[in-house]
Structure 1
Amino acid sequence: MKATDALDEIAFLLERNLASPYKTKAFRGALAAIEAFTEEEIAAGVEDGSLKRRKGIGATTWTVIEQAVAGDVPEYLADLRKRIGGPVTQTGAELRAQLKGDLHSHSYWSDGTTDLATMARTAERLGHDYLVASDHSPSLRIANGLSTERLEQQLEELATLNDSFDDFRMLSGIEVDILETGELDQSEDVLDRLDVVVASVHSKLRTPSAEMTKRMLAGIRSPHTNVLGHCTGRLVQGGRGTRPQSTFDAEAVFAACAENNVAVEINSRPERQDPPDNLITLALEAGCLFSIDSDAHAPGQLGLLDLGAARAHGLGIPADRIITTWPLDRLLEWCR
């Protein structure tokens, strides 16, 4: 197999398994160090040892490259495939196959680990028709949220990037904070230019229920909002510890989502599993649409959609109520 494919697959599997970014960075770095070379140039660099001395190549990644050039599946990759390869779960596989895209992902423009092009190429390889670049908004400084000026620069990069694809499209978007006032944390002018807006609450998650409900309702009623992101903000596992879900009048919030044509996100990250099952059922009964999203911060995490599809399947959500099963034209018309 190609050395570049081996490094990419190893990074993907580690990222999907939520391994330490420091571990995955080694393989992404090695990939970046050799991806501009032809297979013949890589083979020559292995033969004379010059590639081993190249910046970004370490002992483990050198062994992977060397074994791949020799025509073998690298031992490191074979072990990963055995332990964590294949779908994350087989549950909901039929629904997962109907998903055409993902509306929530992050790049190094905010707190993701790679560039937009790497996210896009991975999404295309997974069979996506589209992926939304939804980096954070300015108030989330800890996540390097995008100012209006930086978001406008990202829009220019997306336009150039899309020129390199035939059937795949990277959509413009944002995960915009719903501020304490209920306003969205970005200028209306730039929000008007985006394909998809995911609105989420990231701060003051223990605000009393009445105040949180008022805040969320204002965000949902904004004409710019398309998707309500990870609505409870809870964390149920993982390296960041756990965090209880925020409290709000769920019936009022989901009624507003249904009334204002805002989809409720089913966040596929295993540490979030947000909303909880009982709230998904309530949203389904309220007539809401849903968006199954990965909230990926690394390319491999795009594969976490398997988990969201499994939850949606288990709770009996019809495929047509899930906007990420829709073709691109229908999705964009609905967002507009």
Structure 2
Amino acid sequence: MARESDKSPEPGTGIESGAPLGPVAALRRIAFLLERRLAETYKVKAFRSAAATLLPLGEEEVRRRAEAGTLQELPGIGASTAGVITDAVAGKVPAYLAKLEQEAGPLAPGGEELRAQLRGDLHTHSDWSDGGSPIEEMTFTAVELGHEYVVLTDHSPRLKVANGLSAERLTRQLEVIDGINAHLGDSFRLLKGIEVDILDDGGLDQSDEMLARLDLRVASVHSKLRMESAAMTRRMLAAIANPFTNVLGHCTGRMVTGRQGQRKTGRPESEFDAEAVFAACVEHDVAVEINSRPERRDPPTRLIEQALEAGCLFSIDSDAHAPGQLDFLDHGCARAAELGIPAERIVNTWPIDDLLAWASR
């Protein structure tokens, strides 16, 4: 499962370039477009696997195989991906890519202006926990989408089902992030973060020493979601009051539909005193996350309205577990725009220095 030593792909394969893409970029772009519309995992994997096969090969070898019709002799390349490679090598836009591009557009209409004001994404996952792609792939896709920053927030130790990071593994991840930032220069920054579990008593599932080394922390409830309302309220208030908490993640834990490939049905909201929770968020300067995953839509509209009225800050996050899911921000922006949330109260519209000053208060 762990991909902690994977070789990073080369950046610079523009996601929205008008010019024909090279074969690796074309394969990655198809995977991205499939992923953002929740296509079956095996389809996405076919194109990402083909791109990974081509990465170590020289341009001339790829061209020679395309012209000789021997691409399918390579592992992970089938008839469909070979056709895409052959067209890309010839300088053509592959028909399948052209079709996907024609069908692409905002995932949810109405939030385009706000989406353009987002500078980054504060809640993302890699294959170090329960995401499906290496940190490098998630990062380069974020660069291609025009983000200025992204916070990597893999899970904390207690969430074993999601391969949560121990302090030792998180320490290694911070070193990888430093290496990626050194490679990318000043135009983009991958920020150090965590989606830290809120424990039953409201504590955070990582040591203060490790939390202090991070740029930003999203705190979320993942267990005992049906806890009695008063107990859940105490639990959330304790986490919000923790000085390391910056963002309250998917606060009700609900699922309006089943997540693809997992549960078949939705999940009800956790019960808590929303007035007290949002008042605490204002008091402690904690942002309420608008989780953009279409199966979550969390918080529900009535709670976003209540948090807005209370004076809360917000963070519109993708909660992406794969590169194409970084575009889920469209869903959250559409909801925020519909409810009239001012851009200045959305912390990931802020310049990076302002964001980091707020997060390290």
Please indicate the TM-score interval, normalised by the length of the shorter structure. over 0.9
Alignment of 1:93-104 (within 5 A): 93-104=112-123
Q: Distance in 2 between matches of 1:293 and 1:273?
A: 11
Partner secondary structure for residue 196 of structure 2:
strand
Match of 1:105 in 2: 124
* 2:270 matches 1:246: yes
Match of 2:137 in 1: 118
Match of 1:311 in 2: 335
Match of 2:48 in 1: 28
Is 1:46–1:52's contact at 8 Å kept on the other side of the alignment? no
Match of 2:105 in 1: 86
Match of 2:13 in 1: none
Q: Distance in 1 between matches of 2:129 and 2:38?
A: 18
Match of 1:134 in 2: 153
* 2:186 matches 1:162: no
Q: Distance in 1 between matches of 2:206 and 2:340?
A: 35
Deviation (angstroms), 1:36: 3.5
Deviation (angstroms), 1:77: 1.4
Match of 2:15 in 1: none
1:121-172 CA deviation, whole Å, 9 max, x = no partner?
0001101000111001111111111111110010011011111112101000
Q: Distance in 1 between matches of 2:163 and 2:41?
A: 17
Partner secondary structure for residue 129 of structure 2:
coil
Alignment of 1:1-336 (within 5 A): 1=20, 2-83=22-103, 85-166=104-185, 167-238=187-258, 239=260, 240=263, 241-336=265-360
1:273-307 CA deviation, whole Å, 9 max, x = no partner?
00011100100111100000000000000011011
Deviation (angstroms), 1:3: 1.1
Is 1:99–1:324's contact at 8 Å kept on the other side of the alignment? yes
Partner secondary structure for residue 191 of structure 2:
strand
The one-letter amino acid paired with 1:95 is L
Match of 2:12 in 1: none
The one-letter amino acid paired with 1:150 is R
Deviation (angstroms), 1:230: 0.3
Is 1:173–1:195's contact at 8 Å kept on the other side of the alignment? yes
Deviation (angstroms), 1:119: 0.5
Partner secondary structure for residue 104 of structure 1:
strand
Match of 2:10 in 1: none
The one-letter amino acid paired with 2:350 is W
Structure 1 spans left out of the alignment, 5+ residues: none
1:193-241 CA deviation, whole Å, 9 max, x = no partner?
0001000001111111001001111111111100000000000024332
Deviation (angstroms), 1:50: 4.1
Percent sequence identity is 62
| TM-score, scaled relative to structure 2 | 0.90
Q: Distance in 1 between matches of 2:318 and 2:357?
A: 22
Q: Distance in 2 between matches of 1:19 and 1:150?
A: 31
Is 1:3–1:68's contact at 8 Å kept on the other side of the alignment? yes
Q: Greater CA deviation, 62-71 or 205-214?
A: 62-71
Instruction: Tell me the matched-pair count.
Output: 335
Deviation (angstroms), 1:4: 1.3
Q: Distance in 2 between matches of 1:39 and 1:128?
A: 29
| TM-score, scaled relative to structure 1 | 0.97
